[in-house]
Amino acid sequence: MKSLFKVLFVLFVCMAVFSLPFGLSAQDDLGLPPPPDANEDLLPPPPGGDVGGAELPPPPGEEVGEELPPPPGEEVSGGAELPPPPGEEVGEELPPPPAEEMAAGEELPPPEEELAPPPSEEKAVKVASKSKAAASRYSVVSGDSLWRISGKSSIYGDSFQWPLLFKANKDIIEDPDLIYPKQKLSIKKNYTQAEIDDAVEKAKETPPYEPHTLPRKKLPIKY
C-alpha cells in the first residue's frame, strides 16, 4: 500500500513538471501575468525582443550614420543656395514701365490728328453779318401789305420797319400802299441801326391809310 502511494506521488510530480511550460505558454498567449513563484529564466522573451541580447534593427529612414535630406526651402548640404525664382535673377533688373522709357526732358509725341480750334468770336461775327447781309426774296400773295410782310419773324419781325422794304424795292413799287401778288420783293438785312431807327420813325409819321387803286403822284413823306 505504501509503495502504491509512492508511485502515485512520483507520477503526480512528473506530470506537474511537464505541464509547467505549457501553462506558461498559455499565460503568454492570453496576456496573463505569470504566477508569483514562476522562474523568469523559463519565461519566453517579450514580443520584439531577441533572445541573447541582439538589438532590434532601426526603423526605416533612421539607419545609423545616414542623415535625412533637408526639407524643401532649406540650404543644400555644402552651403549651396536654392536658385532664385523666375524673374529675380541676381544682377538682372526688370525693364522699366512704358511711361518711364523716355529720356529725361523728352516730350510725348503729339497725337496723330489735332482737333481744329473753334472759330474766334471775330470770325463768328463776320459770318453772322454776312448771312444777315445776304438778300432774300419774298413772293407777294393776295392780301399782303408792306406792314404785314415786315412784321413776319422771317423778315424783320417789326411791322414799323416796312419803309425798309419800300426803300429796297422802289424799282418795282411806286406807292407803298399798293403791292400786287407774285411780285418778288428783295429782303435786305444789312441796314445799320441808324437806318432802322429812321425807318421806324417815318412809319410812325405816315398818315393813316386811305383806300385808293392808283399810285399816288406825291407821297406824304420822303421815304
- The neighbour count for residue 43, using CB atoms within 10 Å, is 14
pLDDT computed for residue 125 by the predictor:
45
pLDDT computed for residue 19 by the predictor:
65
Cβ contacts of residue 127 below 8 Å, gap of 6+? 119
Encode burial over 49-84: b for 16+ CB neighbours within 10 A, e otherwise: eeeeeeeeeeeeeeeeeeeeeeeeeeeeeeeeeeee
Per-residue pLDDT of the chain (223 residues; tens, 9 = 90+): 667 777 787 787 777 766 665 555 545 555 555 555 545 555 555 555 544 545 555 555 555 455 555 555 555 445 555 555 555 554 556 665 555 555 555 566 555 555 555 555 555 445 444 544 445 899 999 999 999 999 999 999 999 999 999 999 999 999 999 999 999 999 999 999 999 999 999 999 999 999 999 999 999 988 8
pLDDT computed for residue 133 by the predictor:
46
pLDDT computed for residue 60 by the predictor:
56
Domain boundaries, the chain: 136-205
pLDDT computed for residue 182 by the predictor:
95
pLDDT computed for residue 123 by the predictor:
54
**Architecture (CATH level 2) of domain 136-205:** Roll (3.10)
pLDDT computed for residue 127 by the predictor:
46
